[in-house]
Structures are given as C-alpha cells and as structure tokens.
Amino acid sequence: MSHVKLTARARLRGTVDIPGDKSISHRAVIFNAVAEGSARITNFLTGADCLSTIACVRALGVDVVQEGSEVHVRGVGLRGLREPADVLDCGNSGTTLRLLAGLLAGTSIFTVLTGDASLRSRPQQRIVAPMRALGAQIDGRQSGDRAPLAIRGSSLRGGSYQLPVASAQVKSALLLAALGGSGSLTLGGRIDSRDHTERMLSAMGIDLQIGPDQITLYPPTHPVLPYPLSLRVPGDPSSAAFWWVAAAIHPDAELTTIGVCLNPTRTGALDVLHAMGAEITITNQRSEGSEPVGDVTVRSSHLRGTVIGGTLIPRLIDEIPILAVAAACAEGTTVVRDAQELRAKETDRIATVSAGLTALGVEVEPTNDGMILTGLGGPALHGTALQSHHDHRLAMAWAVASLVASGETTIADPESAAVSYPGFWEILQHIHN
C-alpha cells in the first residue's frame, strides 16, 4: 500500500488547465466507433477509466490511435464490430461497462464485460432489467446484477421505459441499445441526468426527440451513426471542483480553472458553492462543440452550511465528496439528502466520506440517503491518516482537505486519482507560492 504525506499551505494561487471531461471522453470514443467515417478528438482525458474504454473498443476491432490527449477513431458501424477473442476489461469504469453493454446488446456478437473488484461489486440490474425487456440476451452473476456480464447481441425491439433513478449511464445504455433496434424507444421518469449522450448522438445525425419529460430515439435505417464527431473535449467540472473548493476554504487563495464544461446538467457544484457564499467569477464563456464552456475563478470565502438535495443531486453527484469538505469548513449545518446513489459509486461514498470527515475532526451523521454535517466555521480540520479506499474522488477530496488541516495528513493509495485526473498530484504541488 502506498501513501502520500501532506501539510497545509500558506497561500494558493494559480491557473489550472482542466483536463477533458470523463463522460464526454468515453462517449467520443464509443460513439465514433460506430459512426460512418473518422473523427479526431482533442483534450481527451487520459485517465485510466477512459483508457479502459479505448482498450475495449480496440478489442472490438475498431482502429483507435491515441497520442497523449489526441485520439483518432475510425468508425465501423454497429455491424462492423468484431467479436473479441477475450473478455473485455472495463477496469474501474462504470461508464465503460454500462455504455458498452448497451451498445453491444444490439449487435450480433457475443461479449463478456468485467472489471476490477469495485466495478464487479456495483449493481447492474438497473441496465440489465430494462434491456431484457427490450429483448436483450444478457446475464451475469446474481441473476445479472453483477459483472461479469455476458451479452449475446440480438435485434432489440423498441418500447418505453420509466427511469426510476437519474442515471446517465442507464439512460445512455438504453439509448445505445435502441440504436440497432427495430423500433423507437421512449424514456420517461428520471431523465434529468447529464445529457452528453443526447447532445452528441443528435450532432451525429440520430433522430432524437427531447422533451421536458421524455426522450424518444428513432433508430437509423442503417445501424450506423451517420456523421462522425470531431471535437475538443471541454474541461471536466468534476475535476475543476477540487480547485474550486480548495480556493473557497483556504484563507489566502485565488485559483482559476480554464475551459470548464458549463453544461447545466453538470454545474450543481457551482450552484451549491454560490449558495454557500463562495466568491466565484465566471469569464470567457463560449461554446465548444455541443457544450457551453467557461473559465471559473474562486477566491477565499466565508462559507455557510446549506441543503443539497432533490433535483440538484444528479447535477453534482460526483462532487459530493469534495462539497462535503467545503461543508466541513463552513459555518453551520449542511444536509445532503436524496443521494442514495452515492452508495452505488466506486465506494459507498456515504460511508467512506463520513468516515474520513470524522477522522478529520468533523461531526458527521451518515443517513440512508446522505449525511448531516456540522461545519467547523472555518478551515479547522485536524490532519490525520485517511483512506482513499482506491476511490479516486476520495483521494483528491482528502488532498484538498490537507491544504487547510493542522499537522500532517496522510492518504493511502493516492495513485487512484489517475482514474479521472492523471495530473492531479503535480498540480497540487504547483498551486502554492
């Protein structure tokens, strides 16, 4: 087991170029793999999760050339995917496994998808049950609720499904399954998760009708996405959020994050920090491909406790560990609720975040669907030994906490940060002077 030792910093200053968005990077490779023609993707996230996607897509016979953050994909259409010689390893990545499961269910090849111990412990019935209802032949451990998942591709029928949880992975898996199907698919219920799939499939020529309460996909006549999508991937707001909170909780800080995706389905953390009293300035707003982008500057702030729940949750689900660090340094109580989904992430983040904050000297009560935190009224955390549990977002949240903690903070297995943010530790070294 490896460890990193960290101590507080007197001053934080700097400008950080935010690496490509993880969700958009996965989608850019998977969607272009089944498009008609070639695409060039720049600012692709070279995190381990997105590299798992590239490896799986290559194993399906697609030509993917990666040089650093530039990736070229030569699309083959759904029927051009080749049956892989071995099991596809999705590593730690739920997005790889669930989106590929959707795509592969509607092909004519046999595939098996698996991943690391964390991924094999996460629920899959959420995609398996609705896909079976469309005619998919898919099975796995625990009656299909756990990977490895075995998929015998077949022609799926259309239909409709009410999403019970706001999950972009489930929504995307079903839309991808419908691509090769014989009829339209209508999704209702909790469709209010990140909408990159809808934006990108529309830009690639798929007939998608998107209303406030439902989405309908009409499969193309030929099972191929008509236009490849070349793009610069905007910066990941889930990565930028670590620097936003670092600046907000630190007594002498100003940090600017450049080129952050400001898609409204992803900006819940900015809304919460704003409501907590954070000093935030957004400049240089522009459009990159199908996404709004801007630069975000955050300065030292006096934060107040808040309530994080309801429809905000899908807009900041991955940022809850780092928002909990902000809440720990705020004045007053913060309540996180309606966030049961945290229990199905890389770790049970209600349990792991609560345990870490308790060790840092914060009063936290974990609840079924969130936590109740009593803020310390300022950056008064106690440095201690913390576990990342191999969860990238925990490793980075604890690193930010260490910037304002007394004494020494040690974090176990810090290298997991590379799952979504390969340059994180180097930047942490460079933002103080």
* Interacting residues with ligand S3P (CB under 6 A): 23, 95, 167-169, 172, 193-194, 317-318, 341
Identified catalytic residue from 49, 89, 318, 391: 318
Closest contact distance (angstroms) between CB of 98 and ligand S3P is 7
Terminus-to-terminus CA distance in the chain, angstroms? 31
Smallest gap, in angstroms, from Cβ of residue 155 to ligand S3P? 25
Task: Please spell the DSSP secondary structure of 250-263, one letter per residue.
Answer: SSSEEEEEEEEE--
C-beta of 44 vs 384, nearer to ligand S3P: 44
Nearer to ligand S3P, 196 or 232 (CB): 196
Please report how close the Cβ of residue 405 comes to ligand S3P at its closest, in angstroms.
27
Q: Which residues contact 288 (CB under 8 A, 6 or more apart)?
A: 231, 232, 234, 259, 261
Any residues with CB less than 8 A from the CB of 296 and at least 6 apart, and which? 240, 244, 256, 257, 260, 270, 280, 281, 282
Asked about 295 being catalytic, the answer comes back as: no
Read off the DSSP letter of residue 47: S
Would you say 47 and 28 are in contact if contact means Cβ atoms under 8 Å apart?
Answer: no
Other Cβ atoms within 10 Å of 285 Cβ, number: 10
**Token pair recorded at residue 22:** 């993880």
Tokens (6 digits) for 377: 């009224």
**Closest distance between ligand S3P and the C-beta of residue 196, in Å?**
7
8 A C-beta contact, residue 48 and residue 89: no
Give the residue with the Cβ less far from ligand S3P, 124 or 402: 124
Question: Closest distance between ligand S3P and the C-beta of residue 289, in Å?
Answer: 16
Q: Which is nearer to ligand S3P, 46 or 169 (CB)?
A: 169
Spatial separation of the C-alpha atoms in residues 295 and 16, rounded to whole Å: 10
Quick one: 12 or 168, whose CB is closer to ligand S3P? 168
Q: Which residues are catalytic?
A: 318
